[in-house]
């Protein structure tokens, strides 16, 4: 007995499988044998991956360049005995580290959720006795008995079944329950088409079956998915990658400048202690203490905005990542479509009728050659709708929120809704057409039939099923006027083929006058002599809002790809309707992907819009191939099979309504409405968040640059420091909170979704922004150092001169803040009052700076002094000049004078 994971169980006959596993289909395993196999194969359960020690995981959050800089700042401020400032900076570091720790600790929950999905019971045969045991005790070779409502407890090879249907959507993505049968299948049959296999954690929706366990625990398909999740590395997001690169560069520059300051000062004969303090002042000035807090708060604001647009963010970094997205890989069912089967075309009486309105809402019109028709005025159409309603077990109801819901098969539900749209109600017809008997649907017959009593015309049989099984039983057909004539079967088959080519699922309907004398009828009664009444063709229709969202994504330069477990014809039909891949989208199937190597797949993934019948590992391969091609990939999904790809993707998006817990835990973002339109809205918000982050960085760096240059200049010239370290900390922390963070509330700029996605390789700051930062930094250097020397020249104390320099920085930043509301257009192109929080921040900073300058308590703490009117006039004049220079620079760039 050797149940290897690579054994092609689906290819073997059921007898061969039983022999291979050394078991008995009738008696099952002997209890003594079970114990031995449990020793060998272990429990039928998934083990959660062992993560890092929590303390180590927390400490690793400090292992970042920017955090090293902030830790250095804490040591410096403690050395200066500035306890409040040290506490503020430490609080920033601690908050960021806690957030990172919590988010990383959540990563293992996906596997824990997988483990929970396998906690169930199973009915088995052991020693010829039927027993119910915990599913965790199953071993390969056990014979499992299944019935409707059971969860499949392990991977099974089917031995026998009767009308067995299994919902495998969580594993394969198949939108409707799959009919199962025992016969062997070809070796190359893909996972979703292995109808003789049952997989752990799927759900039996109909019928009964008996299967033999071929895999347990981590050897099951769901176990393989668990291992894939565990093996997937959590990728750094575009923002974290850029912040890390930026932080490394900043760290090196700060250390180099501090060292240069100390060495030059000592070389010029300066006191070592004083030069050390100058180097410390330069380091404090160059460190952007507010950056981590700004990143966190800006992302948090983005989270709140996205929540209002039905997108719940589980990881802060996902906000910005959405803004960087270059390709969205979307599931079909429920995301791009409504997950509500809807009749769209009816062929009755030789004519084609179109049905308007989608979904389960029983409201819509019927049109024939462009004109609205009433079904009661068309006998053939009426009879086709009647047949679909009576030969049907589905029930349409309203839930607590007054939304329409279906109890039963979605295909049957579509027929009920179509009849309701035509004015036919089951409650009204029940009295006139009471059901006497029925032939339930069986996979080998592919039809269902019901027998009804009529008040005046005797009994009638209605039958519905596949075109291939129903049409050959018909000899007559209804004309449009309700009379019968001889049936041309080929015409019916051609119409059905035309409908199927559009991706529609086609059902044929027929009737027969019942001449029997009993209340029971059988398959012989519907073997021939039926009257064909028509075809009803249905599809899970696309969401109308998804069509607009895909168009917006296309305009934004974002590729949208459909990756689904459904059939290629259905997938391409929906893709064509919603604008993925043009009018005739090309689809690649999972079977074709198996034949491709990774290098070929990179090119195929780039060019192909639709992937159908894909297995879980193929979804993962596709995401990796797109990332290898330089894309920032978003992946949507709701099933267990989607979890590895969701975790691998730069941004994993799970369905909040239909999604499994495994998918939700693996994802970065949840959609509360399971709607693709919410993804497009989240991308728009993400782009706005990234814009605001860049605006903050562009605003804050000139201050750090200017402060560093002021210290370096003083050392090089051998003069007193124009600004003290404690004053630098005051500038950096207060302006970051009251001024810089207000940019996080800046509204999105017009045309944000008309821009192409950012190149993932592009640096955080463009060349023109770097130039702008240097321009402002130099202007602040000139203004601060100039005011410092001018105040001393006027005979004021060094404390007054330093107060002048501090105010130059504060008010220079304040006026430059308005420049940064838009990095390309005029400061006020969105309107002066469009960001009122920014205006409140400016007012608050102005009041705080007046206290800094005039309040005795602040003067004692920061060595500041009062300024006279001339000094204020020069401070405000310098700030106004800084604002004007940048506005001129932006205008020249817009006109192409400075390179565009």
CA angle (231, 235, 239) in 5-degree steps = 170
Closest CA to 126 of 108, 139, 110: 139
Q: How many helices (H) and strands (E) are present in the chain, helices listed first?
A: 31, 28
Interatomic CA distance for residues 469 and 471, integer angstroms: 6
Interatomic CA distance for residues 583 and 248, integer angstroms: 48
Interatomic CA distance for residues 652 and 661, integer angstroms: 14
The secondary structure of the chain in percent helix, strand, coil, rounded to multiples of 5, reads: 50, 15, 30
Point out the catalytic residue in the list 150, 167, 193, 331.
331
Interatomic CA distance for residues 846 and 854, integer angstroms: 12
* Phi, psi for 217 (deg, rounded to 5): 55, -130
> What are the residues whose beta carbons fall under 8 Å from the beta carbon of 507, sequence distance 6 or more?
388, 411, 415, 464, 465, 466, 467, 535, 536, 537, 538
- Looking only at the bridges linking them, the beta strands covering 460-465 and 505-513 are antiparallel
- Return left, alpha or beta for 630; rule: phi > 0 is left, psi -120 to 50 is alpha, else beta: left
* Phi, psi for 788 (deg, rounded to 5): -60, -50
- Number of CB atoms found within 10 A of residue 544's CB: 12
- Long-range CB pairs of 183-188 (<8 Å, 24+ gap) are 183/13, 184/10, 184/11, 184/12, 184/13, 184/14, 185/10, 185/11, 186/11, 187/8, 187/11, 188/591, 188/594
237 CB-contact burial (10 Å; exposed 0-12 / middle 13-18 / buried 19+): buried
Are 237 and 318 in contact, with CB atoms under 8 Å apart?
Answer: yes
HSE at residue 470, side-chain half, CA atoms within 13 A, is 28
Are 826 and 890 in contact, with CB atoms under 8 Å apart?
Answer: yes
Identify the residue whose tokens are 């991308």.
683
Listed in order, strand segments (DSSP E) in 514-549 are 530-539
Closest CA to 222 of 171, 176, 157: 171
Listed in order, strand segments (DSSP E) in 342-473 are 342-348, 351-355, 366-368, 371-373, 395-398, 404-407, 435-442, 447-452, 460-465
485: which strand partners? 477
Interatomic CA distance for residues 419 and 729, integer angstroms: 74
* Phi, psi for 485 (deg, rounded to 5): -150, 170
Closest CA to 608 of 561, 576, 565, 572: 561
The two tokens of residue 73 are 């700042």
Are 526 and 508 in contact, with CB atoms under 8 Å apart?
Answer: no
Check if 399 is active-site.
Answer: no
Query: Catalytic positions, please?
Result: 331
């Amino acid at each position: 007995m050797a149940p290897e994971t690579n054994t092609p169980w689906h290819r073997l006959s059921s007898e061969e499988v039983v022999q291979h596993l050394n078991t008995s289909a009738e008696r099952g395993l002997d209890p003594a044998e079970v114990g031995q196999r449990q020793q060998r194969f272990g429990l039928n359960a998934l083990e959660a991956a062992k993560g890092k020690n929590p303390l180590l995981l927390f400490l690793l959050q400090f292992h970042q360049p920017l955090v090293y800089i902030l830790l250095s700042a804490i040591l410096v401020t403690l050395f200066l005995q500035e306890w409040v400032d040290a506490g503020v900076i430490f609080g920033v570091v601690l908050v960021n580290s806690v957030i990172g720790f919590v988010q990383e600790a959540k990563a293992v929950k996906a596997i824990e959720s997988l483990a929970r999905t396998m906690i169930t019971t199973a009915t088995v045969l052991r020693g010829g006795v039927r027993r119910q045991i915990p599913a965790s005790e199953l071993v390969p070779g056990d014979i499992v008995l299944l019935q409707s409502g059971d969860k499949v407890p392990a991977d099974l090879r089917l031995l026998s079944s009767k009308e067995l249907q299994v919902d495998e959507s969580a594993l394969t993505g198949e939108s409707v329950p799959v009919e199962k049968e025992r016969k062997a299948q070809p070796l190359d049959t893909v996972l979703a088409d292995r109808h003789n296999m049952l997989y752990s954690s799927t759900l039996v929706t109909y019928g009964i079956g008996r299967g033999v366990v071929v895999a347990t625990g981590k050897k099951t398909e769901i176990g393989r998915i668990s291992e894939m999740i565990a093996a997937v590395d959590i990728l750094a997001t575009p923002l974290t990658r850029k912040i890390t690169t930026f932080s490394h560069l900043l760290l090196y520059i700060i250390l180099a400048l501090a060292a240069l300051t100390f060495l030059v000062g000592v070389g010029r004969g300066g006191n070592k202690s004083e030069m050390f303090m100058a180097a410390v002042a330069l380091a404090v000035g160059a460190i952007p203490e507010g950056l981590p807090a700004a990143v966190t708060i800006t992302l948090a604001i983005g989270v709140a905005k996205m929540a209002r647009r039905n997108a719940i963010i589980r990881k802060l970094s996902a906000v910005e990542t959405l803004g960087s997205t270059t390709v969205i890989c979307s599931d079909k069912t429920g995301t791009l479509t409504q997950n509500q089967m809807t009749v769209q075309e009816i062929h009755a009486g030789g004519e084609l009728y179109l049905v308007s309105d989608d979904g389960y809402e029983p409201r819509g019109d019927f049109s024939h050659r462009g004109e609205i028709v009433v079904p009661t005025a068309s006998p053939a159409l009426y009879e086709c709708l009647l047949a679909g309603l009576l030969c049907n077990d589905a029930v349409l109801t309203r839930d607590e929120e007054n939304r329409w819901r279906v109890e039963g098969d979605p295909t049957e539900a579509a027929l009920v809704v179509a009849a309701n749209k035509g004015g036919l109600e089951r409650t009204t017809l029940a009295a006139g057409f009471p059901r006497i008997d029925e032939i339930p649907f069986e996979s080998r017959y592919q039809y269902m039939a019901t027998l009804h009593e009529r008040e005046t015309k005797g009994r009638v049989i209605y039958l519905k099923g596949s075109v291939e099984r129903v049409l050959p039983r018909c000899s007559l057909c209804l004309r449009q006027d309700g009379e019968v004539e001889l049936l041309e079967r080929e015409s019916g088959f051609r119409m059905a083929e035309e409908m199927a080519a559009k991706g529609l699922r086609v059902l044929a309907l027929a009737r027969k006058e019942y001449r029997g004398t009993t209340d029971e009828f059988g398959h012989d009664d519907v073997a021939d002599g039926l009257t064909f009444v028509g075809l009803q063709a249905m599809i899970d229709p696309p969401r109308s809002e998804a069509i607009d969202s895909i168009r917006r994504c296309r305009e934004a330069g974002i590729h949208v790809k459909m990756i689904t477990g459904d059939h290629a014809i259905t997938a391409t039909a929906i893709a064509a309707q919603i604008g993925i891949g043009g009018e005739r989208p090309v689809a690649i199937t999972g079977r074709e992907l198996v034949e491709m190597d990774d290098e070929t797949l990179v090119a195929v993934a780039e060019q192909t819009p639709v992937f159908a019948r894909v297995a879980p590992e193929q979804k993962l391969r596709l995401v990796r191939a797109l990332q290898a091609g330089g894309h920032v990939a978003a992946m949507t999904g709701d099933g267990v099979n989607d979890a590895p790809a969701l975790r691998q993707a730069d941004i994993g998006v799970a369905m909040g309504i239909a999604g499994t817990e495994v998918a939700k835990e693996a994802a970065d973002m949840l959609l509360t409405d399971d709607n693709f339109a919410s993804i497009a809205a989240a991308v728009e918000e993400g782009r706005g968040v990234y814009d605001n982050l860049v605006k903050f960085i562009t605003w804050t760096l000139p201050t750090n640059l200017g402060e560093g240059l002021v210290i370096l200049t003083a050392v090089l010239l051998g003069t007193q420091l124009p600004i003290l370290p404690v004053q630098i900390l005051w500038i950096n922390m207060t302006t970051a909170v009251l001024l810089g963070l207000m940019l996080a509330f800046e509204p999105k700029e017009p045309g944000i979704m008309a821009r192409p996605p950012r190149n993932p390789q592009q640096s955080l700051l463009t060349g023109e922004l770097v130039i702008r930062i240097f321009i402002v930094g130099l202007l602040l250097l000139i203004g601060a150092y100039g005011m410092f020397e001018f105040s001393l020249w006027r005979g004021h104390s060094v404390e007054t001169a330093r107060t002048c320099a501090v105010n130059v920085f504060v008010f220079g930043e304040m006026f430059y803040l308005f420049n940064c509301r838009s990095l390309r257009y005029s400061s006020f192109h969105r309107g002066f009052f469009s960001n009122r929080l920014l205006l409140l921040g400016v007012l608050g900073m102005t009041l705080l700076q007046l206290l800094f300058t005039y309040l005795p308590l602040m003067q004692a703490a920061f060595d500041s002094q009062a300024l006279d009117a001339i000094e204020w006039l020069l401070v405000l004049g310098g700030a106004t000049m800084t604002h004007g220079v940048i506005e001129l620079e932006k205008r020249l760039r817009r006109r192409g004078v400075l390179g565009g």
